Structure 1
Amino acid sequence: MELHVVIQGRKDLAEQLYQQLHDAIESGRLAAGAQLPPSRLLAEQLGVSRKTVSDTYTTLTYEGLLIGKIGRGTFVTPHALRPKGLQSAADLACAANLAKWQALPSPMRHPTRESTLRCEFIGGATTRSLFPQDEWRRCTQDALRRIAKNSGFYGQPEGLPALRNAIAGHIAFSRGVNCRDDDIVVCNGAQQALDLIARVVLEPGSIVAMEDPGYAPARLLFEAMGATVAGVPLDAQGIQVELIPEGTRLIYVTPSHQFPLGIPMSLQRREALLKRALALGAIVIEDDYDSEFRYEGRPTDALQSMDTRGIVAYVGTFSKTLLPELRLGYTVLPPAIRGAVLKAKQLSDQHSSTLPQWALAKFISEGYLLKHIRRCHAVYTTRRERILSRLAGDLSPWFEAVPSVAGFHLAALCKVPVNIPLLIERARQVEVGLYPLDVFFHQAPVRSGLIFGFGAIETLDIDPSLDKVRDILLQIG
């Protein structure tokens, strides 16, 4: 693609070229980091001498707008001038709404590659070394061949039939979910599924009930849509159903592995929840985000398997079993809201990318997914046991693990007062990433503690990392 520069006449050629490149960088039309054509090529395109182009590049380099990289070419500097005279947020009619969105916190935001520490106990992240690259590559190549044979039309908002069929079989086998292919909508991660359901169920002022503490991104999403979120306390059996307020339209729960504490919801409490939701006329969102990994006791089916009245929307994701970057999730919808959610999906993004959909359909149908889950389960079991052993051992004066039977994170509550922000800060200085529990509390009294994700940290790094945590705790008292 040619750089758009217009030279008029044969006078002031260098000045014309300089001014147009300067204005393009200053306005942002040439973005920071963009590569300019080689001087010889641009000179031929414009019909000017190479020296004219080279001199202009040199001048702009002296001014800090361009940077030359030996063997690579000339680039707009990463910190090029920003366009002048742009409206500020305060000048816009939507200033108040922009301020509301800007003020939202970003809990659970993962670090960038550059800011990732050597030993990360962050939740929700998987180990890249366990990802089956060869199998996924074969599935992706098959997906490319399928796409090449297609008509070139947009896909359907609900997702590819092959993937929906594969998902239906997988979750019926592994989670006891009762569904047909037509009940499934493929989404860009579980977060989009939550967004779509909330769009069609909620209005400004609607009441949403959710566990407290609970998954903060879901709460922020519901609040951003104008809903009133009622935090419902937990006990040893899960959400306290009798405290779900009258008028509730949507109930969000994580019954198999409560986020963030990890406690499973008892059978009696599940039955009570379904009964309460039916009486309220509410939809229940069951976020079953990582329950494929179970370590103790008898497996429990999904809450959706107990639903005989069509009020549970089951939400699942492949971010926790494969890679978060794939952004593939799905929802199994009750018939009453399926049509509305499909319209919302179509208006939102038409459909999720078909390339990873085709690849994932083959990945599941060939048995690679179950094989990968079994492999991860063996690794996560070892990591979980090491963390539990340390929490019951030399870290026990400060922390107590919350009983949990599934997933790949553990919650640890403080037994004595601990300066958690200082602990986290000191840990970062020695390349250990720790994450607090308090950000997940909404209206319930905050209980201090940490969340120990063991998906991203290597097994051999766990003990050395926790040695450092112990030493910091001893130092800060």
Structure 2
Amino acid sequence: MNVHLTIHGRQGLAGQIYRQLRAGVIDGRLAPGERLPSTRELATQLGVSRKTTLDVFERLIAEGYLRSRTGDGTFVADEMTRLAPRPPRTAMLHPSVALWESLPDVLPMTSRERPPEFDFIGGVTDKALFPFDQWRRCVSHALRVLARAPGGYRDPAGEQELRLAVSRYLAFSRAVVSNWQDVIMTQGAQQAIDLLARVALRPGDVVAVEDPGYPPARTSLLAAGANVVPVPVDDEGIIVDRLPPEARIVYVTPSHQFPLGMPMSLERRLALLAWAQQHGALIVEDDYDGEYRFEGRPVESLKSLDKAGVVAYVGTFSKTIFPELRVGYVIPPAPLGVAMRKAKQIGDWHSCTMTQTALAKFMLDGYFAKHLRRMHKEYALRRALLLHALQHDLSPWLRPLPSSAGIHLVAEIRADAMTGSGVEAMLVERAAAARVGVYGIAGMYVAGRPRPGLLLGYGGIGTDRLRAGLDRLKAALERRPS
């Protein structure tokens, strides 16, 4: 028989032939018991000396891949049957694959194939307004620091300067008082939630989440093996009386409930803290965009009211700088601190030192506070424009839900304007046909009856484009479907 081998150049001929024959045996292209050409035939076929092929065969015979029968030839060893490929048995080889495959998709993402011309996706910021010149100076500073420092792995909890900057910022802006040693830097808020689930849960433990709620957090808890129980919300936040008594974790977004937008009332906050203390549960407070508050006085964070040590405070720079930065933080209760550091170290050892060093300088030199003030003013204008459109031009179809913070609004679909079980999807499709990206909230419910509505983000769309996008959305809604 002819064996298909490829020779590249004239160097290492024996090694090239050996590796290709061995690979053919291992991957099953040369079957057990199959007869190989003689060393003379193979040498002629490849244009090499017979000594080269003799050396290769002798090595493969010595290693057990081939067998030689005097007067009969050389064959692939019968023992190689155990290497023959078999159909994969995914469930047997990877028992957790079924769990991961069953997890739902998280938040909607903009299509790269045909992105909308006007995109109202939530949770993104306007990078056109970010002070990249200042950031470039901070990155240059970080590079100089790294160039002078010896190489090595760093503290899993993060760089001291950044942890200090975060603790000062939270004390001033969110009344969260902590030592810098209490802060653990993460790859966004999502990793913070994942780490908390790793250290505070065992498979099968009950976790309570808001319904509707933030899908990525719910998915992360499901991936940890938790029994996730949806708990309804009302105008004051999660309904404490509906919490399952066996819950080990309660995940909430009290400053700006995701997605509906209302803040948790002070009375409800105090009731939740008392419940957690009574039941020995951990509250995970996700303060994802509480920096942007446009009405009323600042609302106390749960962490600032926590005297019993039951709250883990989670934050992110994704909504204040931009999501690609991938920097978040968590301040866990003291008893979880050591476990969280170890879990972070096992997961990725530590976050990017250069990014942390640059961000620390950005904050400590006052650039971050100046950027926040500028963005607050800009987002207030965008929010006012969106509310005006919802209350006037778009009012025949949509009604805004009360919301005093954040960078998105939810507008419910008026029952007197559109009816039917698929009204939300129909409206989203009609907008998409007009190249306007709007996003339904039905997928953010688990057990509750979905309230048909749209999540309209204004963080990533400039003022002029926001106006034009709202005009395009109105025209799409006025157009009768064919």
Give me the TM-score of the superposition, normalised by structure 2. Answer: 0.80
Q: Distance in 2 between matches of 1:414 and 1:117?
A: 21
SS class of match (2:262): coil
Deviations 1:155-175 (A, max 9, x none): 010000000000000111111
Higher-Rg structure is: 2
CA gap 1:89/1:256 in 2 versus in 1, 3 angstroms:
farther
Equivalent position of 1:7 in the other structure = 8
Are 2:363 and 1:359 equivalent residues in the alignment? Answer: no
Equivalent position of 1:184 in the other structure = 183
Equivalent position of 1:463 in the other structure = 467
Within-5 A mapping of 1:9-408: 9=10, 90-91=89-90, 93-94=92-93, 97-111=96-110, 115-408=114-407
Q: Which amino acid aligns with 1:385?
A: A
Q: Distance in 1 between matches of 2:139 and 2:363?
A: 13
Equivalent position of 1:59 in the other structure = none
Moved more, 464-473 or 324-333: 464-473
Q: Which amino acid aligns with 1:438?
A: A
- Alpha-carbon offset, residue 299 of structure 1: 1.1
Structure 1, unmatched stretches of 5+, are 28-84
Q: Distance in 1 between matches of 2:320 and 2:247?
A: 32
- Alpha-carbon offset, residue 221 of structure 1: 1.1
Are 2:430 and 1:430 equivalent residues in the alignment? Answer: no
Moved more, 160-169 or 387-396: 387-396
Q: Distance in 2 between matches of 1:8 and 1:127?
A: 55
Q: Distance in 1 between matches of 2:212 and 2:447?
A: 8
Q: Which amino acid aligns with 1:276?
A: W
Answer whether contact 1:213 1:441 (CA < 8 A) is retained: yes
Equivalent position of 2:56 in the other structure = none
Equivalent position of 1:474 in the other structure = 478
Q: Distance in 2 between matches of 1:113 and 1:171?
A: 36
Deviations 1:213-241 (A, max 9, x none): 11011111111211111111111111111
Answer whether contact 2:430 2:477 (CA < 8 A) is retained: no
Equivalent position of 2:443 in the other structure = 439
Equivalent position of 2:47 in the other structure = none
Q: Distance in 2 between matches of 1:298 and 1:405?
A: 10
- Alpha-carbon offset, residue 96 of structure 1: 5.3
Answer whether contact 1:89 1:95 (CA < 8 A) is retained: no
- Alpha-carbon offset, residue 113 of structure 1: 5.0
Q: Distance in 1 between matches of 2:114 and 2:123?
A: 17
Moved more, 311-320 or 222-231: 222-231
Q: Which amino acid aligns with 2:117?
A: R
CA gap 1:88/1:240 in 2 versus in 1, 3 angstroms:
farther
Q: Distance in 2 between matches of 1:433 and 1:462?
A: 11
CA gap 1:367/1:422 in 2 versus in 1, 3 angstroms:
same
Q: Distance in 2 between matches of 1:8 and 1:462?
A: 62
- Alpha-carbon offset, residue 428 of structure 1: 2.1
Q: Distance in 2 between matches of 1:86 and 1:128?
A: 51
Deviations 1:184-216 (A, max 9, x none): 000000000000001011111111111111101
Q: Distance in 2 between matches of 1:205 and 1:101?
A: 16
Q: Percent identity?
A: 46
Answer whether contact 1:107 1:439 (CA < 8 A) is retained: no
Equivalent position of 2:411 in the other structure = 412
Q: For this pair of structures, how many residues does the alignment match?
A: 407
Q: Which amino acid aligns with 1:451?
A: L
SS class of match (2:314): strand
Structure 2, unmatched stretches of 5+, are 1-5, 28-83
Answer whether contact 1:89 1:98 (CA < 8 A) is retained: no
Answer whether contact 1:254 1:286 (CA < 8 A) is retained: yes
Answer whether contact 1:125 1:320 (CA < 8 A) is retained: yes
Q: Distance in 1 between matches of 2:376 and 2:263?
A: 18
Give me the TM-score of the superposition, normalised by structure 1. Answer: 0.81
SS class of match (1:93): helix
- Alpha-carbon offset, residue 280 of structure 1: 0.9
CA gap 1:89/1:451 in 2 versus in 1, 3 angstroms:
farther
- Alpha-carbon offset, residue 107 of structure 1: 2.5
Q: Distance in 2 between matches of 1:356 and 1:251?
A: 31
RMSD, aligned α-carbons: 2.4
CA gap 1:275/1:296 in 2 versus in 1, 3 angstroms:
same
